[in-house]
Every structure is written in C-alpha cells, then in structure tokens.
Amino acid sequence: MDGEIDLELYTISMIRLNSIFQKIEDDEIVTDIISDIDDCFNDLNQLYEDISNDLSQEEININEYDPFFENGMVMFPEYTKSIDEAVENADDENLKAALNNLSGIFIKLINAGNGYFEKRGAFK
C-alpha cells in the first residue's frame, strides 16, 4: 500500500459496523446480519493485512499511522466491547461465531497498534 492506509475501506467498514449494530438492535434477519458481518470482517482483514505489510517495512509513514492508531487505540477496544456485548445477548450460534470473528480482527488491529507504537518508541 506504499505506506498509506486505505481510509475509504476503513470508513466503509465503520459504516457497516454501525449498520450491523443497528440491525441487531432492530432484530433483523440473522442471515442478513451475518452477511454484513462477513463483509465487514473481510474489509477489516484486508486493511489489517495491508497495515501489517506496511509495518514490516523499514520506513513507516508516521503521518498516516500516528493519527490512525491514536484514534484506533481508543476506538478499537470500544468496538470489541460492543461486539462482545452483542455476543452475550445473541441467541443464534452462527451470529455469535461471526461476531467473535469480527471481535478478533479488532484485537489484531489493537495488537498492530501496540506493535507500531512500540516500534516507534512511543508505546501507548
């Protein structure tokens, strides 16, 4: 990705995530929610892979990554908390599994953020 974060992909993922929470709250069809979760997961996983690739390079574009992870290190744990609450309240095992996968990608992003700040010598 040449050291640039795909902010469009990230934005789409966050819109999907908010839609997922709304659909869960509105008690919509579980298969539709799972499909949205899978799409969100795939987008976030692609973002994570791009970030991992960028962070493995010798030089990192701090103008991209500092603000992304400064925000992410505040928001990602909140997303995992909200997802975990949704898992607790879900009755459908497939929905729980999909939500757990989604939570897992946020944990990977949190770990990437910790690694980034560690590498920069500015552990947050």
Q: For residue 4, what is the enclosing H or E element?
A: none
Rounded Cα distance between 93 and 70, Å, is 34
Distances in Å between the alpha carbon of 21 and those of 69, 94, 103?
Answer: 23, 16, 13
79-111 pLDDT tens trace = 999 999 999 999 999 999 999 999 999 999 999
73 with 113: CB under 8 angstroms?
yes
Distance CA 77, CA 90 (A): 20
pLDDT, tens only, 15-58: 999 999 999 999 999 999 999 999 999 999 999 999 999 988 88
For residues 76 and 104, the answer to whether their CB atoms sit within 8 Å is: no
Domain map (residue ranges) of the chain: 7-120
